[in-house]
Amino acid sequence: MNNNSEATLHNKPAVGNIVSRIFGIAVMAVGVINTFWGNDPGFGVFLVLLAFVYFPAVNVFIRKRFGLRIPVAVKIILGIFIIWAALGVGELFAKIDLMMLDF
């Protein structure tokens, strides 16, 4: 293998980790908004807990502690569910408006 293909192989996990972290932070922010400005704080806490699935350090902990690996396909399906629940059912934009009124 030449250096370019080796660099490409090593960058794919790094890019995936960055995307996973960004999505985890976004889900955590949505969970905090739902916890404090929504009508269902339990849903917000649930989203905050689900956000931890997207942090690589938590995945390493789960793999070492329990021997489980969360497949990427499961994370994608879970992400679609989170987006649907937060935007459609959770009325995220209305809650953001409520949050902005408090500031």
Average pLDDT over residues 23-36: 90
pLDDT at position 50 is: 93
- One-letter amino acid at 72 equals V
pLDDT digits (tens, 9 = 90+) for 31-43: 888 888 877 889 8
State whether residue 67 is helix, strand or coil. Answer: coil
**Residue 90 exposed, middle or buried by CB count within 10 Å (0-12, 13-18, 19+):** buried
Cα separation, 103 vs 44, in Å, equals 20
Q: Which of 53, 46, 56, 43 is nearest to 78 (CA)?
A: 53
Residue range 67-85, pLDDT digits in tens: 998 898 999 999 999 888 8
Whether the pLDDT of residue 95 is over 90: the answer is no
The DSSP symbol for 69 reads -
